[in-house]
Each structure stands twice: as C-alpha cells, then as structure tokens.
C-alpha cells in the first residue's frame, strides 16, 4: 500500500499527479509540464499549499464552501454518523434518520410548497433527475407529448449527458454527442456582451420574449419545462436585467410550463437570501441544489419539488435513483451545515456586513482602466475586462487571453479569482469578514494593474 503524505516534496507530488490523475476541464498535458498547485489544508477563507503559501479563496472552492473551511463540528458529525450508520439505501422501502431530517429541514427552508426532496450526489445528477421527472410528470398527467426542456446558451447545469445537454456551453456540446434530443436553447440575458444599443431593461424583455417565441414555435403541447440559473454562475456571474425574471415568470404561468430554478450556486445564502429564487422573485416548481447544501464538505445534491409535481410522481413508480441517494453521512453533514448557517446567523452577516462591504469594494474596481463593468449580487460578483470601456469592446486576441493572464496574476498575489473568458468572477465564503474583503479587493486591484501592464507590454490592448 502506498501512503502519500503532505510532506512529500511538491515536485514528487506533482509528478505522481501528472502520471495518474486526470484533471477535469483541463489540458492535462499542459498542466503536467507546469505542475498542479498542491492544496494541503484550509481554514476560514484561506487555503494552504504544499509550499506553505497562504491563499485567499475568492471562489469558496467551486462556489460551495459557504461556511468557510475547517469547521470542527462538521468533522464530528461525519465521524459520529460513520460510526452509527455509514451507509444504507432508501430503494427498498427503508429510510434513515439523516435523510428524513434533512428532507424536513429543506422543506422548511425552501419557499412556497417546495416540500419534497429527491437526492443526488451533486448538481449534474439532480438535473438529470429533473429532465426525467418533468417528462414523467407530463406523461402521467395525460400529456406525453410535452417532452422538450427549454434552456439557455451559456448556461451551466452540470457535466453528465443530461446536465451538459441542458447547459449551453458550446465547448462541452462539441465533445461526446450533445445535446441529447429534446433540449432547446434560447439566448442568455447578458446585456454587457450582447445588449447592443438597447437599454438593459429593453434587452431583458427581448431575451425573456425568446422563451414565449420558442414555446409558440415548438408548440405548447411539446414543451415540458424551462430551466435556468437565477443568476448565471459558471457562465460569468451574469446578473440579468431587472425586467427579465418577471417576464419569464409570466410566460411560464401563461403556458403552464414547469419552471426549474437551478440553485446549485445561488442556493444557501449566496445572493443574500436562502435561495436566489427569493432574491429574484421567482416561483419555481423544482429547485436544483448541491454545492453549498453541505458547504462542499460532502458530495450531495437534490431536486426540491413542489406539491403538484411530487403528487404525480409519487403516484407512479418513478424508475430512477442513485445508490448514494440521501447518503447518511452526506445528509448528516448537510444538516449540520444548515444548522451552522442558522446558529451563526450567516445570512445576517451577509446582509448587514459582508455583502454591502463587498459591493462597495467590488464596484470601486469599475474605475480601473481595464474594467468595463463590475457587477455584484449578494456574494457573487464579476468584472468584464475590456480594451475599450466606452464601447463595451471585446479584445481582438482570442477570448480568455486577458482573463487567463489576470487569473495568473491573482494566483501570484495569493488570491483565487476565476476567469470565464475575459470576465473575472468571485464568490468567496459567506463568512468572510471586512478585513478579508479589503484584502481581497486590494489583491484584485494589484492583479488588475499587473494584467494591464502585461497586456500593454504585449500589445494586447486592441479591441476586436
Ligand atoms: C456546479 C453546477 C452544477 C453541477 O453540479 P455538480 O455537483 O458539479 O454535478 C449544476 N448547476 C449549476 C448552476 C452549477 O453551478
């Protein structure tokens, strides 16, 4: 048996990593030449790497570690649950206390009559469930032709066949034969990049109107559901114009289309309320949750389903489920996470302290010569890098060139900030305090200065 300790030299860890570990969404051959950064520990909002470097995690891992790293109670709950009941299934007329307790808690927290929980190991699986659930719902209610799910370009709904098909990432669709049949994509409400001469409000209505046009074109009798993230996350933290969601809601109501809110990022406090649907004023029939459901301490996701849909699904045998549905350790840890959210009043901290302070700091970056816009909602923000602020111009260089440079400059300044094309995005742990926010903003500004200098030196400040 091989035991690999943190104390192995970094180069040896990197060599083993390159030899045997295939990284997701990565050109592994390039990474192998450079060597992956080895993360060895974390506490609060800081990561530590194998060289002893301390890095401020502006992304809460992958948008998940909302309560911050290193919460002892989470470890205790996991250990206790493993001793008591590490695993049992819920397929064959059995259940267990963690799944019961978490389901009841989620029903209490979720808005409206979202009272029923179907589990998964993550967001992608939950969205696969959603496709099958909405199609089954319509088949069982005598409308079997209602099968198409409408989604949006540049949406992210996961990486399984179903999730990636719902998603609107062209790079993902290009590999492996996606999207699967019965998925239709409309344009995204991304005013800065695609709004042209329209005001944001006009543009929001135009983009929402595409849903109605698609329903009419495909036929009302063929459309099962519309799925969207309340605020697009992986697409670049795109906050829709205010006119967008009310119009989408009106259209879903009018045509009786099921509305699925993919809350995998926006759930559990990210936008300042428990769910993004509350912040954006949406009434979904199903919410997809994962990520911050357990603050990333355990892999778990779920579909939270309204009374109307659950009643129909419960009346038939839904031939679907995952081995780790409601996994007891994951469920116990998720429940503890929600308890910590409540006991520490993390939503209160976000509302009164973190979100206003972060907004002030983040929006102050808009005066930087490289920044076209700085958008933020709750604890998720984005900035558009541009060679020409006045024209909202894209760079002449391949999309992502400037963003990648900026991400590297962030890393060099001990800040994790991610890039999506030439947009920089943040979603720090919700527990981040004022001083840590100040540090995040000052490191981001330094990284922007260095990026600007490098772009000028390499003659890359050219507009497309
Ligand atoms: C991350 C994400 C998913 C996929 O979740 P996984 O746990 O990676 O399967 C789905 N939807 C949204 C909005 C996400 O951000």
List Cβ neighbours of 116 (8 Å cut-off, separation of 6 or more): 103, 107, 304, 305, 306, 307, 310, 314
Q: How far is the CA of 460 from the centre of ligand 1 (A)?
A: 33
Q: What pLDDT, on the 0 to 100 scale, is given for residue 7?
A: 73
Atom of ligand 1 nearest to the CA of 122: 7
Q: Using the mean position of ligand 1's atoms as its centre, give its distance from the Cα of residue 173 in Å.
A: 16
User: Residue 286: helix, strand or coil by DSSP?
Assistant: strand
Q: Which atom of ligand 1 is nearest the CA belonging to 229?
A: 13
CB 429 within 8 A of CB 68: yes
pLDDT score, position 6: 66
| Number of the ligand 1 atom closest to the C-alpha atom of 124 | 9
Q: What is the pLDDT of residues 168-178, one digit of tens each?
A: 999 999 999 99
User: What's the pTM?
Assistant: 0.97
Question: 463 alpha carbon to ligand 1 midpoint, in Å?
Answer: 33
Determine the distance separating the centroid of ligand 1 and the alpha carbon of 195, expressed in angstroms. 27
Most ligand 1 atoms within 8 A of CB, residue of 61, 64, 123 to mutate: 123
Which of ligand 1's atoms lies nearest the C-alpha of 123?
A: 5
421-439 residue pLDDT tens: 999 999 999 999 999 999 9
Ligand 1 geometric centre to CA of 389 (Å): 32
How far, in Å, from the CA of 231 to the mean position of ligand 1? Answer: 13
Produce one character per residue of 20-51: b if its CB has 16 or more CB atoms within 10 Å, e if not. eeeeeeeeeeebbeeebbbbeebebbbbbebe
Listed as own residue / partner, the contacts of 201-207 with beta carbons closer than 8 Å and 24 or more positions apart are 201/241, 201/242, 201/243, 202/243, 203/241, 204/240, 204/241, 204/242, 204/243, 204/244, 204/247, 205/243, 205/244, 205/247, 207/240, 207/244
Q: Which domains does the chain have, with CATH numbers?
A: 37-67+345-457 (3.90.1150.10), 73-343 (3.40.640.10)
265 CA closest ligand 1 atom index: 15
Ligand 1 pocket test, candidate residues 59, 60, 265, 303, most atoms within 8 A of CB: 265
How far is the centre of ligand 1, averaged over its atoms, from the C-alpha of 2 (Å)? 33
- For residue 126, the model assigns a pLDDT of 98
Closest CA to 447 of 410, 401, 403: 410
Return the residue matching tokens 């950064």: 37
Name the residue with the closest Cα to ligand 1, atom 6: 123
Mutation pick for ligand 1 pocket among 125, 126, 156 (CB with most ligand atoms within 8 Å):
156
CA of 262, closest atom in ligand 1? 13
Query: What is the C-alpha separation between 69 and 80, in angstroms, rounded?
Result: 19
List beta partners, residue 382: 375, 425
Question: Which residue has the CA at smallest separation from atom 14 of ligand 1?
Answer: 264
Which residues are near ligand 1 (CB < 6 Å)? Answer: 122-124, 127, 156-158, 229, 233-234, 262, 264-265, 290-291, 301
pLDDT string in tens for the chain (464-residue length): 456 666 789 999 999 999 999 999 999 999 999 999 999 999 999 999 999 999 999 999 999 999 999 999 999 999 999 999 999 999 999 999 999 999 999 999 999 999 999 999 999 999 999 999 999 999 999 999 999 999 999 999 999 999 999 999 999 999 999 999 999 999 999 999 999 999 999 999 999 999 999 999 999 999 999 999 999 999 999 999 999 999 999 999 999 999 999 999 999 999 999 999 999 999 999 999 999 999 999 999 999 999 999 999 999 999 999 999 999 999 999 999 999 999 999 999 999 999 999 999 999 999 999 999 999 999 999 999 999 998 999 999 999 999 999 999 999 999 999 999 999 999 999 999 999 999 999 999 999 999 999 999 999 999 99
CB 337 within 8 A of CB 349: no
How many angstroms does the Cα of residue 223 sit away from the middle of ligand 1?
Answer: 23
Whether the CB-CB separation of 323 and 89 falls below 8 Å is answered with: yes
Ligand 1 center–CA 64 separation, angstroms: 10
Give the Å distance between the CA of 262 and the centre of ligand 1: 8
Distance 162 CA to ligand 1 centre (A): 12
């Amino acid at each position: 048996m091989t035991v690999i300790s943190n104390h192995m030299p970094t180069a040896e860890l990197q060599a083993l990593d390159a030899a045997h570990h295939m990284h997701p969404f990565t050109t592994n051959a390039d990474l192998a030449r450079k060597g992956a950064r080895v993360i060895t520990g974390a506490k609060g909002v800081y990561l530590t790497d194998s060289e002893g470097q301390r890095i401020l995690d502006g992304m809460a891992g992958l948008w998940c570690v909302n309560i911050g790293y290193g919460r002892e109670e989470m470890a205790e709950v996991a250990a206790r649950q493993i001793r008591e009941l590490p695993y049992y299934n819920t397929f064959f007329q059995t259940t267990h206390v963690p799944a019961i307790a978490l389901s009841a808690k989620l029903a209490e927290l979720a808005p409206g009559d979202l009272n029923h929980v179907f589990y998964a190991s993550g967001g992608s699986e939950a969205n696969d469930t959603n496709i099958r659930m909405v199609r089954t719902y319509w088949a069982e209610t005598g409308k079997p032709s209602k099968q198409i799910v409408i989604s949006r370009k540049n949406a992210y709904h996961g990486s399984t066949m179903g999730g990636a098909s719902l998603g609107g990432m062209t790079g993902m669709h290009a590999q492996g034969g996606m999207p699967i049949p019965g998925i239709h994509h409309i344009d995204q409400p991304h005013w800065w990049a695609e709004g042209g001469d329209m005001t944001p409000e006009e543009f929001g209505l135009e983009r929402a109107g595409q849903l109605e046009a698609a329903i009419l074109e495909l036929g009302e009798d063929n459309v099962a559901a519309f799925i969207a993230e309340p605020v697009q996350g992986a697409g670049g933290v795109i906050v829709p114009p205010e006119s967008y969601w009310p119009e989408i809601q009106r259209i879903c109501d009018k045509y009786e289309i099921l509305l699925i809110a993919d809350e995998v990022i926006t759930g559990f406090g990210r936008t300042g309320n428990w769910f993004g649907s509350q912040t954006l004023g949406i009434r979904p029939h199903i919410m997809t949750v994962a990520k911050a459901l357990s603050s990333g301490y355990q892999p778990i996701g779920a579909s939270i389903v309204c009374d109307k849909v659950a009643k129909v699904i419960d009346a038939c045998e839904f031939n679907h489920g995952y081995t780790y549905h409601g996994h007891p350790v994951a469920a116990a840890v998720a429940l503890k996470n929600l308890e910590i959210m409540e006991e520490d009043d993390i939503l209160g901290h976000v509302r009164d302290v973190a979100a206003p302070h972060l907004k002030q700091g983040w929006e102050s970056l808009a005066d930087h010569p490289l920044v076209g816009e700085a958008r933020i909602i709750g604890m998720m923000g984005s900035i558009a890098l541009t060679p020409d602020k006045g024209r909202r111009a894209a760079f002449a260089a391949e999309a992502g060139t400037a963003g990648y440079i900026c991400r590297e400059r962030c890393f060099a300044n001990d800040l994790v900030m991610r890039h999506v094309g030439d947009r920089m995005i943040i979603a720090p742990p919700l527990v981040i305090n004022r001083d840590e926010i100040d540090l995040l903003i000052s490191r981001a500004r330094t990284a922007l200065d260095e990026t600007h200098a490098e772009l000028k030196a390499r003659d890359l400040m050219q507009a497309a």
